[in-house]
Amino acid sequence: MRQLPVRFLGPVDDVFSVLQEADVGLLPSFFPSESLPNSVIEYLLWGLPAIVTEIGDAPQMIASAEGDAGIVIGFDGGRADVNALAEAMYTYATRADIFAEHRRRTRSAAAKFRMENMLASYSEILDMNLTDVGCLADTGATDTNGTKIKLQDLPDLRISP
């Protein structure tokens, strides 16, 4: 088997210069609280397909309407499956068609993390008709006159990009 060039850098100060040189982003995390890893967002924004574990939202983060912009690997004994990780890396190193397709999909997978799209999503949530989801309950708060404040009495909230 041929040797593939892999460098382990450890902590770095200038992450973006490293990402410019990278071909693939790796996040073989097994940390249960890894909910929305910034590194995956950075990989996608830089156009790097990502190899991630089934932890937190990482699989949904690399998803796009066109398909995944990376490869999701499982666990083996509570840790990232090392064989699956090696196989995913080997796939990218030897299958230019899969690598190119996943790289192409990074743009659409990253779109959900662009500020204007995130603000629009938050605005949709805040604009929801709370009556439909049964959230117009007593807030427990009172105004300066001692009158109870209910959610339906609060002014409309708007977020603009």
For the chain, percent of residues with pLDDT exceeding 90: 47
E strand spans, the chain = 25-27, 50-53, 70-73, 75-76, 79-80, 138-142, 148-150
The torsion angles phi and psi of 159, rounded to 5 degrees, stand at: -120, 130
Nearest to 77 by CA among 21, 30, 41, 8: 30
Domain ranges of the chain: 15-113, 116-153
C-alpha torsion angle, residues 67, 68, 69, 71 (rounded to 10): -150
Q: What is the pLDDT of residue 78?
A: 85
What is the average per-residue pLDDT within 149-155?
A: 56
Asked if 81 contacts 73 with a C-beta cutoff of 8 angstroms, the reply is yes
Q: Decide: residue 133, CB within 10 A, 0-12 exposed, 13-18 middle, 19+ buried.
A: exposed
Cross-strand partners of 75:
80
For the chain, percent of residues with pLDDT exceeding 70: 77
Buried b (16+ CB within 10 A) or exposed e, 41-75: bbbbbbbbbbbbbebbebbebbbbeeebbbbbbee
Reported as a single tens digit per residue, the pLDDT across 110-133 is 999 888 888 887 777 766 655 455
Task: Report pTM.
Answer: 0.71
Asked if 68 contacts 105 with a C-beta cutoff of 8 angstroms, the reply is yes
Residue 83 in tokens: 């064989």
What is the average per-residue pLDDT within 58-85?
A: 94
Top-tier CATH class for 15-113: alpha beta
